[in-house]
Structure 1
Amino acid sequence: MMGKSVVSRMFHDIVLVGAIALLLGIMIWQGLRFGGSPDPEQAVGAWSAGISAAVLVFREGLEAILVLAALFASLQRAQAALTRPISAGALAALAMTVLTWFVVVWLIGLAQSTFSELQVQAATGLLAVVVLLVVMNWFFHRVYWTEWIRVHTRRKTDLAQQLKAGLLTPRRAFLGLALLGFSAVYREGFETVLFLQDTRLRWGMSVIELGAGLGLLLTLIVGWLTLLAHRRLPYQRMLVLTGAMLGLVFVVMVGEQAQEMQLAGWLPTTQLPLPIPDWLGTWFALFPTAETLLAQALAATLVLGSFLVVKLRTARAARLLETSPAQSSL
C-alpha cells in the first residue's frame, strides 16, 4: 500500500508540474507575442491549440518510453552494455525527427507556392486528423501498442542470445540494437511532426514551441523517472488519461478541419439557425453549419463506439477465462 501511495503521489506531482508549467508558459508567451494582454478570442484559440499539441507530444513520448523501458528491462542486470546501442539509436531518432520537421516544412513551403493557403491548411489538417486516428486506434485497441512492445522485446532477446552464442558479431549486434532504439522513438516522432504542421500553419511557431515544449518537458520527467531512476509509474492511468484527452482533441480537430475544407471550397456550407456562442467555436470548433456538426457527431460516435467495443470485448474475454477453468474441471 505504501508503494502504491508513493506512485500515486508521484503521478499527481507530474500532473501538477505540467499544469503549472502550462500556465507559466502561456503567461510568458502572451507577454512575448502580444506585449501584454492579447485579443481574448485569439488567445483562447491559441491556448486550445497549445494544449492539444502538448497532449499529443506527451502521449507519443510516453509510448516511446514504454517501448524503451521494455527493451532496457532485462538488460539492466545481465547485459547492461547492450543498453548503449539502444540509447544511441533513440538519440539518432530524435535527431532524425528534427531533420524530418525541417524537410516537411520545406515540402509544405513548396506546396504553398502552387496551391492557395486555404487549400494547404485543409490538406495539412486532414493529415493531422489521420495521424490522430492512428493514435486513437492505439489507445482503444491496446493490443497494437502491446504487440509493438512485444516485437521489440523479442527482437532484442534474439540479438542478445545470438551475440552470446557467437552467431552474431558485436558490430552487427550493435547495429541491430541501435535500429530497435531508433524505430521505438522515430515512429512516434514522425507522427508528431505530421500532426503539428496544421497547428503551425494556423497559429505559428510560438504555439508549437509552447505546446510541444510542455509535452516534451513532461516526457523528459517521466523518462527520467522510468529509465534513470527506475521508478514504476501508473502508466496505464496516464495512457487512459491522455487517450481520453486526445479523444476530445480529435472531435475538435474534425470540426476545425471541416470548416477549413469549407473555406477551401472542398465542402459545401449549410448554415443552421442555431444559437451557438462564439466561445464554443473558439474552444471546441462548434459552428452552426450542418457539415461541421455532422462531422463532429461522426467523430464523437467513432470515439465512443470504439471505446464501447473494446469494453465489450474485454468483458467477453474475462467471462471466457472464468468459464474455461470450470469446464476443464468437469
Structure 2
Amino acid sequence: MNPRTECRGVVAGGVVPGLIVGLREGLEGALIIGIILAYLTKIGQRSLHRYVFIGTGAALAGSIGIAGLLALLHVKFTGTGEALFEGVAAILAVLVLTSMVLWMMKAAKDIRRHVEERINLLVDRRQVMGLASLAFIAVFREGVETVLFMAGLTATIGTDVVAGAAAGLAVAAFLGYGLFAASWKINLGRFFQGTGLFLIVIAAGLFSIGLHELQEAGVLPWLAAEVYNIHASFPDDDQANPLGYLLRGLIGYNDNPTQLEVAGYVAYWILAAFLYWSIRTGKIEFVSRPLRRLWAAVKRTPEPLSADPPAL
C-alpha cells in the first residue's frame, strides 16, 4: 500500500487529474446524447426522446454500481493484496485511458455522422429500444472509462480524485447543455486534442506509480534499485511538500523512483508517441490498420483500407 494515499490536508493532489478526466469523459457522453436528441427533434421524432433518457439513466446506474463494487473490493484488500489491487487498477486505468485518447483522435470528426446514420437505421426499422441501447452504450462506455480511471487514481493518489471528477462531470453537463440547448460554439477538435495530451501526461505518471505498487506487492521484483532519492529536499507527500504532492497527482512524481519506474515511464512515452504518429499519418500499417479495423468493427461501418484516418 502506498502511504501517500492517506495524506489529506494542505493540497488535494488528485483534484486536477480527476477534474480533467471527468470533464472530458462527461463531455464525450453529453456530446453523443446531445447529437441523438437534436437529430430526433430534427426529423420530427421528439416523442422518442424518452427512450434516450431511459438508456442514459440505466447507463448512469450501471456505472455507479461498478464504482461501488470496485470501492468495496479496495476496502477488502490489505497489505500485499492492497498493493496488488492498486497496481492492477493503475495499469488497467492507463490502458483504458490511452485507448480512449487514441480512439478520439480518429473518431472525433465523424461522431455526428455515424450517430445520425445509426439513428436513421433504428427509426426506419422502428426499433425504439435500439435508441435506448444506443444511448446506454454511449454513456456506459464513458462511465466505465471514468470509473476505471478513477479507481486507478484513487488507489494510488487519494480520494481527492473523486471530488475533482464530480466537478468535471458537472462542468461537462453544463457545457453539454450549452452546446445543444443554447447553441454555444466550442472547437471540439482542439478541446479533445488539448485534454488528450494532458491525459497522456497523467497516464504516463500513473503507469510508473502502478509499477511501483506491483513492485511493493512482489509481482515485479526486478530493477528495484533507486535511481535517485531526493526525499529530504523535495518530498512527494502532502504535509511536507504540497507542490510535490500536487506533481505526484499530475505527472506521477516520485522522490525515490526505482529503475523499473523510470524505465516504464520512458517506455510509455515512446509507445504513446509512436501510436500517436502512426494514427495521425497512417504510415505505419501494422499498427494503424489493425486499429482502423477495430474502430470500424465497433462503429459497424465499412473500413476504407486504402484511406488514411483524417487528422483533427
CA change 1:305–1:147 in 2 (3 A) is same
> Structure 1: how far apart are the matches of 2:123 and 2:279?
36
Q: What letter is aligned with 1:158?
A: L
The residue aligned with 1:5 is: none
CA change 1:181–1:224 in 2 (3 A) is same
Q: How big is the shift at 1:60?
A: 1.1
> Structure 2: how far apart are the matches of 1:237 and 1:147?
15
Matched, 1:159 2:131: no
TM-score by length of structure 1 reads 0.70
Which runs of 5 or more residues in structure 2 are unaligned?
1-6, 237-242, 284-305, 308-312
Q: What letter is aligned with 1:292?
A: E
Q: How big is the shift at 1:133?
A: 2.3
Q: Which deviations, in whole Å up to 9, do the C-alpha atoms of 1:216-250 show, x marking residues without a partner? A: 12211111112322333211111111101101111
CA change 1:202–1:275 in 2 (3 A) is closer
The residue aligned with 1:201 is: 155
Q: How big is the shift at 1:123?
A: 1.9
CA change 1:108–1:53 in 2 (3 A) is same
CA change 1:215–1:273 in 2 (3 A) is closer
Alignment of 1:42-81 (within 5 A): 43=11, 46-47=12-13, 49-79=14-44, 80-81=46-47
CA change 1:106–1:194 in 2 (3 A) is same
Q: What letter is aligned with 2:153?
A: T
Q: How big is the shift at 1:50?
A: 1.8
Q: Which deviations, in whole Å up to 9, do the C-alpha atoms of 1:46-76 show, x marking residues without a partner? A: 32x2211211121111221222233233322
User: What SS does the aligned partner of 1:64 have?
Assistant: helix
Q: Which deviations, in whole Å up to 9, do the C-alpha atoms of 1:99-147 show, x marking residues without a partner? A: 221123234444x1696221221122222122222223224x414x566
Number of equivalenced pairs: 262
> Structure 2: how far apart are the matches of 1:55 and 1:162?
39
More helix by share: 1
Which runs of 5 or more residues in structure 1 are unaligned?
1-32, 164-172, 315-319, 322-330
Superposition RMSD in Å = 2.9
Q: 1:217 aligns with which of 170, 186, 193?
A: 170
User: In 1, are the aligned partners of 2:87 and 2:209 still within 8 Å (CA)?
Assistant: no
> Structure 1: how far apart are the matches of 2:162 and 2:70?
17
> Structure 2: how far apart are the matches of 1:184 and 1:312?
27
User: In 1, are the aligned partners of 2:80 and 2:216 still within 8 Å (CA)?
Assistant: no
User: In 1, are the aligned partners of 2:38 and 2:180 still within 8 Å (CA)?
Assistant: no
The residue aligned with 2:66 is: 100
The residue aligned with 2:235 is: 278
Q: Which deviations, in whole Å up to 9, do the C-alpha atoms of 1:258-315 show, x marking residues without a partner? A: 211222222231222576843596413244422111101011112222232233339x
Q: What letter is aligned with 1:303?
A: A
Rg comparison, structure with higher value: 1
Q: What letter is aligned with 2:179?
A: T
TM-score by length of structure 2 reads 0.74
The residue aligned with 2:239 is: none
User: In 1, are the aligned partners of 2:74 and 2:82 still within 8 Å (CA)?
Assistant: no
Identity of aligned residues (%): 24
Q: How big is the shift at 1:95?
A: 2.0
Q: What letter is aligned with 2:55?
A: G
The ranges of structure 1 where at least 4 consecutive aligned residues each deviate by more than 6 angstroms after the TM superposition are none
CA change 1:202–1:308 in 2 (3 A) is closer
User: In 1, are the aligned partners of 2:98 and 2:200 still within 8 Å (CA)?
Assistant: no
Q: 1:190 aligns with which of 144, 149, 152?
A: 144
> Structure 1: how far apart are the matches of 2:55 and 2:38?
17
> Structure 1: how far apart are the matches of 2:228 and 2:136?
52
